[in-house]
Structure 1
């Protein structure tokens, strides 16, 4: 059993459960490194064909743990072991059982199928704490929806519910309350009727069609994040969040 992430294999399926419910499954650097190792093993294991990612308790993932080593380095594969991982072609399903904000939504955006509990909510609130959605959010959201829809979310940090997300095409299927995993497993059953190598080739081709320059864009994201981390507003945003007060931005 993992310290921050639980994983369970059932024949060709790996279920990955983010397990920090005391902080709504927010991930700090050690949790991201642990998740990265699990995904490394998943990618290398020929007997594992599909993965589901979900969360313990009422949240899927509340994103980056702002109160615990916010600027600590991520693994080489990036945020949650996913944002700089470009060669994982096995199908991945996000069973979004609740809150998916910031890096939590970025994990779902990195998956191929998103099943959302009807009470789930999504947002990318990084600018509200002086940060940037560099874990894949600012890169992937404009690929998924029209520009003005994406920017309306990225530039406000506003939340949307599961039905709004589905209407924008950001959710594959809405599940009744408490049934996200059950619906996700139905997709697993359907995929297991398909040849696993065909699924991987299909995903590889689909990714190439929309993310052919992903490494370059993510390298830009890393550079922007490093520069942003040196600003007054970034330090102010983190301090305001941790002390539960409104931030005072200075634009520097």
Structure 2
């Protein structure tokens, strides 16, 4: 893989629980690196990942991010309950123990308009599944497993997964998965629309995600940002009319049409050539 680029505007954060690599121009690969714990996250890991995605969000050189888990068994199996319940005096974990962006710095994040792709190489359980629901595109190995088992442990999926799940697949199906905590295959999740693509083996997930990332970075990073914002407006607004109005009236949309990338896109079309995009200033 290519080394760390030298033209970052902001320095990458130092990490202990995840690896940051740069497999292609403008692409950040975040690998949760706790394979002996099946990539379960302790509380410090959430804040580290929050810092990582804060950096990704503001670093102009990065256009697409991929998140995966290390090893051949798990993307992330959720909260490291054993670690936390032995380290916390009151033996409890509350929503206040997490960063505002939620589980893994992603599950409740609402301020990132750059694409985030999940490369699910194994178990995506509890908070791990909540993270995939917060990603824009999900690639899953054929034997990947998804589940929200919180109710079986006397807790709830409080980091954004429930609200996203019901919006994505509907009330009754969301209730079944959340009330039973049952295990779901990658095939079932693809049929539900929660997985974009299934690959044969765990090792194929990241390459497949990189292929999609390469298609994304052919396009204007400004237009991608505004497009993602428009999709999120549609998800969060009570009506299509309101979502369209918000996108049309947003400052980001207005700024799009005075950016260099907009002008370059028009020129390239007229000159019948591929555009040469610049880092987004939006």
1:107 to partner: Cα distance: 0.7
- 2:102 paired with 1:88: no
Larger gyration radius, structure 1 or structure 2: 2
Name segments (4+ residues, structure 1) moved above 3 Å.
none
Q: Distance in 2 between matches of 1:185 and 1:143?
A: 27
| SS of the residue 1:188 aligns to | helix
1:75 matched to which residue of 2?
Answer: 99
- 2:15 paired with 1:2: yes
- 2:185 paired with 1:185: no
1:15 matched to which residue of 2?
Answer: 29
**62, 65, 82: which is aligned to 2:80?**
65
Deviations 1:166-216 (A, max 9, x none): 011110000111211111111011101111111111111101111248xxx
Structure 1: state its 5+ residue gaps.
214-252
**18, 38, 42: which is aligned to 2:56?**
42
TM-score (norm 1): 0.81
Q: Distance in 2 between matches of 1:134 and 1:120?
A: 23
| SS of the residue 2:222 aligns to | helix
Q: Distance in 2 between matches of 1:127 and 1:183?
A: 33
1:84 to partner: Cα distance: 3.3
1:31 to partner: Cα distance: 0.5
1:77 to partner: Cα distance: 2.3
| SS of the residue 1:48 aligns to | coil
TM-score (norm 2): 0.73
**129, 135, 147: which is aligned to 1:111?**
135
Number of residue pairs the alignment of both structures matches: 213
| SS of the residue 2:65 aligns to | strand
| SS of the residue 2:231 aligns to | helix
Q: Which has the higher contact order (CA 8 A, sep 6+)?
A: 1
Deviations 1:65-106 (A, max 9, x none): 111225161123222112332110100100000000100011
Matches within 5 A, 1:1-252: 2-9=15-22, 10-57=24-71, 58-69=73-84, 71=93, 73-177=97-201, 178-212=203-237
Q: Is the 8 A contact 2:107 2:161 kept in 1?
A: no
Deviations 1:35-82 (A, max 9, x none): 001001100101100000000011000011111225161123222112
Q: Distance in 1 between matches of 2:31 and 2:46?
A: 13
Q: Distance in 2 between matches of 1:65 and 1:26?
A: 5
Q: Is the 8 A contact 2:152 2:181 kept in 1?
A: yes
Structure 2: state its 5+ residue gaps.
1-13, 86-92, 239-282
